Amino acid sequence: MDGDVILGVEGLNLYDRAGNRLVRDVSIGLRAGETLGLVGESGSGKTLTLRSLVGLLPDGVREECAGRRDNPNCAMIFQNPMSALDPLCPVFRQLCEVIRIRQRTNPAKTKARATELLRRLSLPEELAVSDRLPGSLSGGQCQRVLIAMALSCNPEALLCDEPTTALDVTVQRQTLALIGELQRERGFAVLFVTHNLAVAAQVCRSLAVMRRGEIVERGPVRRLLTEPAHEYTKTLARAILPVSRREA
């Protein structure tokens, strides 16, 4: 594996309890500041690959790989913000708990850091005074809370598991823009998993296309949009609005 890779895996194979291979010989390397999209239909193995990178595989899934580059300083944004947050714990308290554990700060610094993140992510600052349960916030606000939790870890790599799927189109666009802006400010790498090639094209410079547990094509976004080589990539490209070479 390349020495510049901060998080990655070589020759990854994943099996279920019955020995069926779910992911076949997948190699991914994430470099500092890079934005890589992992694209494919539901069930193609994207999320399993992502979870393998952070050691969050479901029970019953067995892993074999030729090589691995682990980076403990990474964070993950999950697909459904309402299920990723504890529904019985107020959101500001949850954010403070992550900061306290990951940054080992005292109560005063923890609250100050959490309040700063609320402001940075355009969340209601009154949450620091009058905290609320996740169910009283919108889906977009809950997703921003998850992003705040991820950023509180000061990650070198941010892993995004379809973070905009549960959001409406306007909030999707705002969330994608926010992730891009924060990446430019902080310089972390991003691995963005999605089934939507159009979404990936907004945030990623390069793509790896997965189908049935295998990466069938990879390369720069512009080439995969305008000159896809694999028939499956062509199908994904045809599913979005026509894009001219110049616009791509």
Task: CATH number of the domain at 48, please.
Answer: 3.40.50.300
In a domain, residue 217? The reply is yes
Q: How confident is the model at residue 206 (pLDDT cuts 50, 70, 90)?
A: very high
- Bridge pairing between strands 74-77 and 21-31: unpaired
167 lies in the same domain as 94 = no
Say how far apart CA 118 and CA 95 lie, in whole Å.
10
pLDDT-based confidence at 242, cuts 50/70/90?
low
Mean of the pLDDT values across residues 193-211? 91
Gap between the Cα atoms of 192 and 38, Å rounded: 6
At residue 248, does pLDDT exceed 60?
no
Co-location of 141 and 215 in the same domain: no
What is the DSSP annotation of 23-92? EEEEEEEEETT-EEEEE--TTSSHHHHHHHHTT-PPTT-EEE-SEEE--SSEEEE-S-HHHHS-TTS-HH
Q: What is the pLDDT of residues 48-69, one digit of tens each?
A: 999 999 889 999 999 999 998 8
pTM of whole model > 0.85? yes
% of residues, the chain, pLDDT over 90? 65
Residue 244 pLDDT class (50, 70, 90 cuts): very low
Domain that holds residue 229: 1-73+157-248
What's the pLDDT score for residue 113?
93
List, in order, residues 6 or more apart from 31 with CB less than 8 Å away.
2, 4, 5, 6, 189
Which of 58, 77, 54, 59 minimizes the C-alpha distance to 8?
54
